[in-house]
Chain A
Amino acid sequence: MYDTFIGLEIHIQLLTKTKVFCGCSNNYGDEPNTNVCPVCLGYPGTLPVLNTDALFMAYQVVGALKCKRAEAAIFERKNYFYPDMPKNYQISQFADPVGINGEVIFPFQGEEHRVRIHDVHLEEDAGKMIHAGDMSLLDYNRAGTPLLEIVTEPDLRSGEETEAFLRYFRTLVRTIGVSRGNMEEGNLRCDANISINTHGAGLGTKVELKNINSSRFVRLALEYEKERQIGIVEAGGSVDQETRLWNENKDITVVMRRKEESKDYRYFPEPDLPPYRPGEDFFRRVEESLPELPLDRQKRMEAAFSLTDEQASYLCEEKARADYFEAAVAAGSEAQHLYFWMSGDLAALVNKSGTPLEESRLSPEKLATVLRLLDNGAIHGPIAKKMVALLFEEEHDPEGLIAERGWKALDDTSKILPIVKKAVDANPSAAEQLKQGETKVLGFFMGQVMKETGGRADPETAKALITSYVKGEIV
């Protein structure tokens, strides 16, 4: 009965070495006010100098979002007062953003959805205010760091869809390598506007939501706001055009400012930065630098390696993960087997150690070797697990390890049987239970055998021997 229209203004911090208009380090988390200079503090007489690395990254995003790119980077001054904004104007783009009219295709509930991009513009970030008692402290380390703002058309329909879009968007910017794209860390920030209207009647009165700093809050805030607006309309009222804040403690939105207080930014061309024309060579380098988009890659990998939608989506969520997978396949691994290991043991190791997969000692080639050794029976499962964990941390040769640590698979019946006999004989009551058909006990005996053989015993052989011995089929 109602249509919902959601548009986003997404800010991403770009991963340049230095700030966008001066040479200060663009590093988060340093001591307050250590990455500052007269230029980024807006000292009288200083002038901005454009960091072309930031512009390069901006154009990479413009390319990935399939926008029409601007041939020149043109900057304007956006005038507003804020204590953490050193010049009290922000160098931004207005009339001529670096990109316009793009689109993002993203997966949602097994379908492909599309969000149109209105524009992409490059600007400088402000500093940070820290309130301490009755004092306000200012940290200007972030002032002047490069920010890319991506404005979407109101093409999203629900909080859930918006959350999925943001998740894909994060993967996208991480894949290009221009931002960490993490809302919780603050390097992806997002304002949303939302309106509802009776079905088919077009856009309703728009409410802007600010201060939503996790993708979960995006979903909650939008769902709350949608219901609030529908409630107003159902009760015969009309929605006010205003800006609201998400209160994460109460899970509600509250008014921040009304329409009549809306700002006039008095944009005008930045006289200190003449239009910058990057030229053909620059644009060619941008194009060459662009990787395959995550959704394209997901579809290709699904087809090429017979993966499910979910499997390919997991792998393509991080570019490094998909790269790793493809490298291991190229080194001879079977796709399903590899996926099983990557989403299981390897994911657990990454989680536990905090070391990203691509920074571990276990190269895709070594993993492929381990899986081959497992496949051809040179080692058994439990040893493979041990080996992977060891190779993840330390530099070893997988084949050398087998000899070194005596990890070769044990499938010789004459060697396994005495161990089986010893375990069963020592636990007569358990043996009796197994004999009565309580198969759970089999696991207990397997454990004993594996413990005794250091995990080297062939599990099938051991199982068969235990069962037969208990039943008295062998003596």
Chain B
Amino acid sequence: MSDAALFGWSSTAEYCTYLDENDKKVGAFLSRTGADEFQSALERSRSEASDRSPLRGMPFAVKDNIAVKGLPLSCGSKMLETLSSPYSATAVEKLQQAGAVVVGKTNLDEFGMGSSCDNSALGTTHNPWDVARVAGGSSGGSAAAVAAGMVPFALGSDTGGSIRQPAAFCGTYGLKPSYGVVSRFGLVAYASSLETIGIISLDAQLLRTVFDIMRGQDPKDQSSRPFSPQASEKRQGEKPRIGVITDIEGLAPAMESAYRERLDLIRKKGYEIVEIELPMLEYVVPAYYTIASAEASANLARYAGIRYGHRTDWADEHSELTEKSRDEGFGDEVKLRILLGTYVLRSGFKDQYYLRAQKIRTLLRNEILSAFQKVDQILSPVFPTAAFPHGDAGLDQFQQKLADKFTATANLAAIPALAFPAGQSEGLPFGLQLLGPEFSEHKLIDTASEFTELWEPKTAPGFREWR
């Protein structure tokens, strides 16, 4: 017994029906593996994966900017709506070898640019807690699929908080690993030096299992690194010393009081809480957008209507072909960031913007590393608000960007970060985030599990338990 039945369904068909029904409300998926293919993948998993693999026969969802051979790789964009990937991402291959089975590709803000999922050109994803609200972004489809109980875990990608913010909005765990620990091969590049493939799950131990399978140096990704946790193992068995940032201006009032309450609970349980200062935090958002846009302007240059993706119906020459294909294929946010990135790299502007952002990045990283001399982990909110209603009613696009300050820090500093459910505030989930030194993923998961025991977060309405 090692197909979907193991996880609470009597048959694959029943599971697929459940997915269909549930996704009508949530809209987490952009494409799904057909029922027959899913069934044969399960059978393959049963015969090939080890009996002892905890992922044998386990379904999972993949954000649609991560390649799975033979499935679409739309990136939430009209530009790539028709693309079928000719290969699989290394992370996906590793999970498949361990017996996990892809059930579909999830929605995202176009090319990972956004924090609501409303920037997808191909579908609308709703928050399972309240369908009038966004799931967060850009990995909103993956977070919603997990929160709604459609899959036990899902892959996302995190460039400036794209896993952690939707995880917080949907009340799940979301791990952004240390840069380079999970191969980026197969992740459609948006901002190469910042992004990483990560995991969304409601089960901290499953999160750890999936991470341990996916991580490791990959010959196909030269920026990948071996996972070497030794450096952070010195205080084994002891309760970690938790640093908190004193400057948390800008939190929504309900979030701020929830955050203070959680801090008190943690302190009462005997954790040492140390106030730390991170003055560089003020520059995180502009530095992040400068670097991300610069890299995006190069990474997205390949979409020219020539080899793959959207091609305009008619053009007289090459430049017209490119212009029209891009104009028709890209959404406004993508165009904005490409233009911004082109601007900050222009000669005469590069010193002022791009190179200055790189200096800020170095200073921020040094500041964070020296903070880890004093504390083991840093606790902060994930996002200043809970999930906002569709249509940006809560925050305008500019505010959404400013709000990335807590999350983008980890991407600039290349360190791991974990969002975890911290309970509910006014009926919506509320998340906290732990930052740790490079390779401290396991310790972050340990701490977050201990914390969540203090308040036992709920699951979304209609959620069906796995196992």
> In the complex, are the beta carbons of B302 and A271 less than 8 A apart?
no
Q: Is A130 interfacial (CB-CB < 8 Å)?
A: no
In the assembled complex, the Cα of A398 lies from the Cα of B306 at a distance in Å of: 62
In the assembled complex, the Cα of A46 lies from the Cα of B187 at a distance in Å of: 7
Q: Choose from B83, B86, B222, B301 the contact partner of A272 (Cβ within 8 Å).
A: B222
> In the complex, are the beta carbons of A44 and B298 less than 8 A apart?
no
Q: Which of A42, A83, A87, A273 has the most CB of B within 10 A?
A: A83
In the assembled complex, the Cα of A145 lies from the Cα of B297 at a distance in Å of: 24
> In the complex, are the beta carbons of B192 and A272 less than 8 A apart?
yes
Q: Is A259 interfacial (CB-CB < 8 Å)?
A: no
Q: Choose from B73, B318, B347, B354 the contact partner of A45 (Cβ within 8 Å).
A: B73
Contact A274-B346, Cβ < 8 Å, known A45-B67, A79-B298: no
CB interface residues, B 69-90, toward A, < 8 Å: 73, 75, 80, 83, 85-87, 89
Neighbouring A residues of B222 by C-beta, 8 Å: 47-50, 272-274, 276
Min Cβ gap B352→A in Å is: 14
In the assembled complex, the Cα of A138 lies from the Cα of B306 at a distance in Å of: 10
Min Cβ gap A123→B in Å is: 15
In the assembled complex, the Cα of A272 lies from the Cα of B350 at a distance in Å of: 20
Min Cβ gap A134→B in Å is: 10
> In the complex, are the beta carbons of A268 and B73 less than 8 A apart?
no
Q: Is A460 interfacial (CB-CB < 8 Å)?
A: no
> In the complex, are the beta carbons of B220 and A47 less than 8 A apart?
yes
In the assembled complex, the Cα of A273 lies from the Cα of B189 at a distance in Å of: 14
Nearest-CB residue, chain B, relative to A79: B298
Nearest-CB residue, chain B, relative to A87: B302
> In the complex, are the beta carbons of B346 and A266 less than 8 A apart?
yes
> In the complex, are the beta carbons of A83 and B188 less than 8 A apart?
no
Q: Is A264 interfacial (CB-CB < 8 Å)?
A: yes
Neighbouring B residues of A77 by C-beta, 8 Å: 298
Q: Is A86 interfacial (CB-CB < 8 Å)?
A: yes
Min Cβ gap A437→B in Å is: 79
Contact A42-B307, Cβ < 8 Å, known A50-B222, A79-B301, A274-B222: yes
- Counted as pairs of residues, one from A and one from B, with CB atoms less than 8 Å apart, the total is 101
Q: Which of A49, A86, A88, A89 has the most CB of B within 10 A?
A: A88
Contact A45-B188, Cβ < 8 Å, known A86-B302, A266-B342: yes
Nearest-CB residue, chain B, relative to A21: B222
> In the complex, are the beta carbons of B347 and A266 less than 8 A apart?
yes
Min Cβ gap B67→A in Å is: 5
> In the complex, are the beta carbons of A47 and B184 less than 8 A apart?
yes
Binding site secondary structure of chain A: loop
Neighbouring A residues of B345 by C-beta, 8 Å: 79, 266-268
Min Cβ gap A8→B in Å is: 24
Contact A41-B354, Cβ < 8 Å, known A47-B221, A79-B301: no
Min Cβ gap A259→B in Å is: 14
> In the complex, are the beta carbons of B187 and A268 less than 8 A apart?
no
In the assembled complex, the Cα of A169 lies from the Cα of B73 at a distance in Å of: 47
CB interface residues, A 137-152, toward B, < 8 Å: 138
> In the complex, are the beta carbons of B342 and A44 less than 8 A apart?
no
Q: Choose from A38, A42, A50, A81 the contact partner of B86 (Cβ within 8 Å).
A: A38
Q: Is B308 interfacial (CB-CB < 8 Å)?
A: yes
Nearest-CB residue, chain A, relative to B193: A271
Q: Choose from B80, B186, B219, B295 the contact partner of A271 (Cβ within 8 Å).
A: B295
Min Cβ gap A39→B in Å is: 8
Q: Is B223 interfacial (CB-CB < 8 Å)?
A: yes
> In the complex, are the beta carbons of B80 and A81 less than 8 A apart?
no
CB interface residues, B 295-349, toward A, < 8 Å: 295, 297-298, 301-302, 304, 306-308, 318-319, 322, 342, 345-347
In the assembled complex, the Cα of A77 lies from the Cα of B299 at a distance in Å of: 10
Min Cβ gap A83→B in Å is: 5
> In the complex, are the beta carbons of B223 and A44 less than 8 A apart?
no
Nearest-CB residue, chain B, relative to A50: B222
Q: Is A305 interfacial (CB-CB < 8 Å)?
A: no
Q: Is B185 interfacial (CB-CB < 8 Å)?
A: yes
In the assembled complex, the Cα of A44 lies from the Cα of B308 at a distance in Å of: 9
Binary CB contact string for chain A from 41 to 59 against chain B (1 if under 8 A, 0 otherwise): 1111111111000000000
Neighbouring B residues of A138 by C-beta, 8 Å: 306
Q: Is B100 interfacial (CB-CB < 8 Å)?
A: no
Q: Is B26 interfacial (CB-CB < 8 Å)?
A: no
Q: Is B66 interfacial (CB-CB < 8 Å)?
A: yes
Neighbouring B residues of A46 by C-beta, 8 Å: 87, 185-186
Contact A44-B302, Cβ < 8 Å, known A271-B295, A274-B223: yes
> In the complex, are the beta carbons of A88 and B301 less than 8 A apart?
yes
Contact A83-B304, Cβ < 8 Å, known A268-B354, A272-B192: yes
Q: Choose from B66, B86, B184, B192 the contact partner of A43 (Cβ within 8 Å).
A: B86
> In the complex, are the beta carbons of A88 and B354 less than 8 A apart?
no
Neighbouring B residues of A268 by C-beta, 8 Å: 294-295, 298, 345, 350, 354
Neighbouring A residues of B307 by C-beta, 8 Å: 41-42, 86
> In the complex, are the beta carbons of A83 and B306 less than 8 A apart?
yes
Task: List 30 A–B pairs whose Cβ atoms lie within 8 Å, in order of A's numbering.
Answer: A38-B86, A42-B302, A44-B73, A44-B75, A44-B85, A44-B189, A44-B308, A45-B66, A45-B89, A45-B187, A45-B189, A46-B186, A47-B185, A47-B221, A79-B297, A79-B301, A79-B345, A81-B319, A83-B306, A83-B318, A88-B302, A89-B298, A138-B306, A267-B345, A268-B295, A272-B221, A272-B223, A273-B222, A274-B223, A276-B222
* Interface residue ranges, B against A (CB under 8 Å): 65-67, 73, 75, 80, 83, 85-87, 89, 184-189, 192-193, 219-223, 294-295, 297-298, 301-302, 304, 306-308, 318-319, 322, 342, 345-347, 350, 354
Closest CB pairs A-B (n = 8): A88-B301, A271-B193, A266-B345, A271-B192, A44-B188, A45-B188, A45-B67, A45-B186
In addition to A46-B185, A47-B221, A271-B295, 20 A-B residue pairs with Cβ atoms within 8 Å of each other are: A43-B86, A44-B80, A44-B189, A45-B87, A45-B188, A79-B297, A83-B304, A86-B307, A87-B301, A89-B298, A136-B318, A138-B306, A266-B342, A266-B346, A266-B347, A268-B295, A268-B298, A271-B193, A272-B192, A276-B222
